[in-house]
Amino acid sequence: MAVLMLILKTIGIIILVLLFILIYFLVVPIFYRFSLSYDDKLIYSISFNSLLHLISIQKTSTDENIVLYFFWKLIHFNIPIVKLNNSKENKSNNKVQSVKKVNSNKLTYALTSFPNIIRRFHIDLKHANVRFSMGEPDKTGMTLGLIAIIPKAHDSGNRIIGDFESEDSYFVGDFSLKGYVRLFTLIRILVKIIFIK
Taking alpha carbons only, the member of 139, 150, 141 closest to residue 114 is 150
Q: What is the pTM of this model?
A: 0.68
> Which DSSP helix (H) or strand (E) runs through 181?
strand 169-182
Measured CA to CA, the distance from residue 78 to residue 109 in angstroms comes to 35
- Close Cβ partners of 124 (under 8 Å, ≥ 6 residues apart): 151, 152, 177, 178, 179
Q: What is the pLDDT along the chain (197 residues), one digit of tens a residue?
A: 778 888 888 899 999 988 887 777 777 888 999 999 998 888 999 998 887 777 888 889 888 888 888 877 777 777 776 655 554 444 444 444 444 444 556 666 666 777 788 888 888 899 999 999 988 898 899 888 888 888 888 887 899 999 999 989 899 999 999 999 888 887 887 787 777 65
Which pLDDT score is estimated for 91? 47
Which pLDDT score is estimated for 108? 65
